[in-house]
Amino acid sequence: MRVTLALIITAVVALGAAWLLWPAPSESVTDTTPGAPIVAVSLPSSFTDQEQMGQTAFAANCAACHGENGSGRTEMGPPLIHKIYEPSHHADISFERAVEYGVQSHHWTFGNMATVDGLTKADIGGIIAYVRAVQRANGIN
Protein backbone atom coordinates (compact mmCIF):
# COMPACT_ATOMS: atom_id res chain seq x y z
CA MET A 1 0.00 0.00 0.00
CA ARG A 2 2.77 2.45 0.94
CA VAL A 3 4.71 1.60 -2.20
CA THR A 4 1.63 2.20 -4.37
CA LEU A 5 0.91 5.51 -2.65
CA ALA A 6 4.54 6.57 -3.05
CA LEU A 7 4.44 5.69 -6.75
CA ILE A 8 1.23 7.66 -7.25
CA ILE A 9 2.64 10.71 -5.46
CA THR A 10 5.87 10.47 -7.47
CA ALA A 11 3.91 10.25 -10.72
CA VAL A 12 1.74 13.25 -9.83
CA VAL A 13 4.77 15.33 -8.86
CA ALA A 14 6.61 14.32 -12.05
CA LEU A 15 3.62 15.17 -14.26
CA GLY A 16 3.16 18.49 -12.47
CA ALA A 17 6.83 19.35 -12.92
CA ALA A 18 6.72 18.37 -16.60
CA TRP A 19 3.66 20.56 -17.12
CA LEU A 20 5.28 23.53 -15.39
CA LEU A 21 8.61 23.12 -17.14
CA TRP A 22 7.29 22.28 -20.63
CA PRO A 23 8.60 25.04 -22.90
CA ALA A 24 6.01 27.46 -24.15
CA PRO A 25 5.68 27.96 -27.88
CA SER A 26 7.09 31.08 -29.44
CA GLU A 27 5.44 34.15 -28.00
CA SER A 28 1.71 33.42 -27.89
CA VAL A 29 -0.67 35.63 -29.78
CA THR A 30 -3.83 36.47 -27.83
CA ASP A 31 -6.28 36.91 -30.73
CA THR A 32 -8.68 33.96 -30.50
CA THR A 33 -10.54 34.78 -33.71
CA PRO A 34 -10.78 31.65 -35.90
CA GLY A 35 -7.87 31.71 -38.34
CA ALA A 36 -5.76 34.12 -36.28
CA PRO A 37 -2.06 33.28 -35.77
CA ILE A 38 -1.34 31.21 -32.66
CA VAL A 39 2.29 32.26 -32.11
CA ALA A 40 4.41 35.22 -33.15
CA VAL A 41 7.19 34.16 -35.51
CA SER A 42 10.54 35.80 -36.19
CA LEU A 43 12.15 35.16 -39.56
CA PRO A 44 15.86 34.65 -40.19
CA SER A 45 17.70 37.53 -41.86
CA SER A 46 18.16 35.45 -45.02
CA PHE A 47 17.22 32.14 -46.61
CA THR A 48 19.18 29.74 -48.80
CA ASP A 49 17.86 29.05 -52.31
CA GLN A 50 16.29 25.77 -51.07
CA GLU A 51 14.66 27.56 -48.11
CA GLN A 52 13.27 30.26 -50.44
CA MET A 53 11.79 27.56 -52.66
CA GLY A 54 10.34 25.96 -49.53
CA GLN A 55 8.89 29.27 -48.35
CA THR A 56 6.99 29.59 -51.64
CA ALA A 57 5.78 25.98 -51.50
CA PHE A 58 4.81 26.37 -47.82
CA ALA A 59 2.76 29.50 -48.59
CA ALA A 60 0.94 27.69 -51.41
CA ASN A 61 0.34 24.34 -49.69
CA CYS A 62 0.66 24.61 -45.91
CA ALA A 63 -0.10 28.13 -44.71
CA ALA A 64 -3.87 27.76 -45.14
CA CYS A 65 -3.85 25.53 -42.05
CA HIS A 66 -0.43 26.03 -40.41
CA GLY A 67 -0.45 29.82 -40.77
CA GLU A 68 1.92 32.29 -42.33
CA ASN A 69 5.49 31.19 -41.62
CA GLY A 70 4.21 28.25 -39.55
CA SER A 71 2.55 30.43 -36.90
CA GLY A 72 -0.51 28.17 -36.71
CA ARG A 73 -4.11 29.29 -37.14
CA THR A 74 -6.66 29.33 -34.34
CA GLU A 75 -9.18 26.50 -34.81
CA MET A 76 -7.50 25.50 -38.11
CA GLY A 77 -4.00 24.09 -37.62
CA PRO A 78 -1.09 23.93 -35.19
CA PRO A 79 1.98 26.13 -35.27
CA LEU A 80 5.03 24.37 -36.67
CA ILE A 81 7.19 26.93 -34.90
CA HIS A 82 6.78 25.11 -31.63
CA LYS A 83 9.05 22.94 -29.48
CA ILE A 84 6.88 19.89 -30.24
CA TYR A 85 8.13 20.00 -33.83
CA GLU A 86 11.84 20.32 -33.02
CA PRO A 87 14.01 17.85 -34.96
CA SER A 88 14.63 15.61 -31.94
CA HIS A 89 10.87 15.06 -31.50
CA HIS A 90 9.63 15.24 -35.09
CA ALA A 91 12.42 14.31 -37.48
CA ASP A 92 12.24 15.43 -41.10
CA ILE A 93 10.75 12.07 -42.07
CA SER A 94 7.73 12.97 -39.89
CA PHE A 95 6.98 15.92 -42.15
CA GLU A 96 7.54 13.81 -45.29
CA ARG A 97 5.15 11.14 -44.00
CA ALA A 98 2.58 13.77 -42.95
CA VAL A 99 2.44 15.08 -46.51
CA GLU A 100 2.25 11.59 -48.03
CA TYR A 101 -0.05 9.82 -45.56
CA GLY A 102 -1.71 12.54 -43.50
CA VAL A 103 -1.64 12.59 -39.70
CA GLN A 104 -4.08 11.50 -37.04
CA SER A 105 -4.55 14.22 -34.44
CA HIS A 106 -2.30 13.51 -31.46
CA HIS A 107 -0.67 16.67 -30.04
CA TRP A 108 -3.41 19.18 -30.75
CA THR A 109 -7.19 19.34 -31.07
CA PHE A 110 -7.34 20.56 -34.66
CA GLY A 111 -8.45 17.24 -36.09
CA ASN A 112 -6.64 15.01 -38.54
CA MET A 113 -4.35 16.33 -41.26
CA ALA A 114 -5.20 15.17 -44.77
CA THR A 115 -2.56 14.17 -47.30
CA VAL A 116 -1.14 16.96 -49.44
CA ASP A 117 -1.15 16.05 -53.12
CA GLY A 118 0.92 17.52 -55.93
CA LEU A 119 4.20 18.11 -54.08
CA THR A 120 7.46 16.72 -55.39
CA LYS A 121 10.22 15.36 -53.15
CA ALA A 122 12.11 18.60 -53.89
CA ASP A 123 9.09 20.66 -52.81
CA ILE A 124 8.82 18.72 -49.55
CA GLY A 125 12.56 18.99 -48.93
CA GLY A 126 12.36 22.74 -49.48
CA ILE A 127 9.40 23.09 -47.13
CA ILE A 128 11.24 21.15 -44.44
CA ALA A 129 14.39 23.25 -44.93
CA TYR A 130 12.28 26.43 -44.69
CA VAL A 131 10.43 25.30 -41.54
CA ARG A 132 13.71 24.26 -39.89
CA ALA A 133 15.29 27.65 -40.72
CA VAL A 134 12.33 29.49 -39.18
CA GLN A 135 12.40 27.18 -36.16
CA ARG A 136 16.11 27.95 -35.61
CA ALA A 137 15.38 31.69 -35.86
CA ASN A 138 12.89 31.16 -33.01
CA GLY A 139 15.22 29.14 -30.78
CA ILE A 140 13.91 25.71 -31.76
CA ASN A 141 16.86 23.47 -32.63
Q: What is the pLDDT of residues 89-106, one digit of tens each?
A: 999 999 999 999 999 999
What is the domain count for the chain?
Answer: 1
Asked if the structure places residue 12 within a domain, the reply is no
Listed in sequence order, the residues at least 6 apart from 93 whose beta carbon sits closer than 8 Å to its beta carbon are none
| CATH code for the domain in which residue 60 is found | 1.10.760.10
| pTM exceeding the 0.95 threshold for the entire prediction | no
pLDDT 10s digits, 14-49? 444 343 334 444 456 778 899 999 999 999 999 999
Whether 60 is covered by a domain: the verdict is yes
131 vs 119: CA distance, rounded Å: 16
Least confident of 18-22, 112-116, 121-125, 129-133: 18-22
